[in-house]
Amino acid sequence: MKYLFLLYALVSLSVALKDVCSPPAKPQRGFYFPFQTNYKYGQHITFGCSLSYKLEKPVTKFCINGKFQPTDDVVCILDQCHINPCSLHAGCHSIKGMVVCFCPPGYSGDPRIKCTGINPCDSNPCGFGASCTNRDGLALCTCPAGSNGDPLWGC
């Protein structure tokens, strides 16, 4: 009977230990949170990278059967965009060590040299006799003082 109880206690302890995960290895140039001594079954951790680095792919791991899953490595790579290689008003994507600059919507030009705001009034969107004002990249059509009508059709 004594041995049966001891065997039961060992099996219970073995099952309980599978429900606990030890902290994983910290990725080079990275971190994870929350940081604690042990993690319970189903608990998750999220990874991040130090300044000027980014995750090769987003990673969240879960404590399952005593191990964090998935088991693939967490990799922090240099974010080439952190040095601002693109021009003013340009966006930047760092993809597999290459920099891709782009002009965002409402801008045009060479994103490595200069992105210039597009003036919506250049396409004459207003009706006859109406004046156009560029308001933050949007055309605002108005009829001159003393006239009436629809500024989109004519004043």
Per-residue H/E/C for the chain: CHHHHHHHHHHHHHHHHHCEECCCCCCCCEEEECCCCCEECCCEEEEEECCCEEECCCCEEEEECCEEECCCCCCEEECHHHHCCCCCCCEEEEECCEEEEECCCCEEEECCCEEEECCHHHHCCCCECCEEEEECCEEEEECCCCCCCECCCEC
pLDDT at 13: 38
Same domain, 32 and 69: yes
The domain total for the chain is 3
Same domain, 57 and 102: no
Report the pLDDT value the prediction gives residue 8, as an integer from 0 to 100: 36
CATH number for position 49:
2.10.70.10
**Domain with 17 in it:** 2-76
**Average confidence (pLDDT) per 10 residues, the chain, 155 residues:** 39 53 91 92 94 89 92 89 90 85 91 90 93 88 93 93
The whole-number pLDDT of residue 74 equals 92
CATH number, position 94: 2.10.25
- Pair (110, 145) in one structural domain: no
Question: Quick one: pLDDT at residue 47?
Answer: 93
Q: Is the pTM of this model over 0.75?
A: no
The predicted pLDDT at position 18 comes to 65
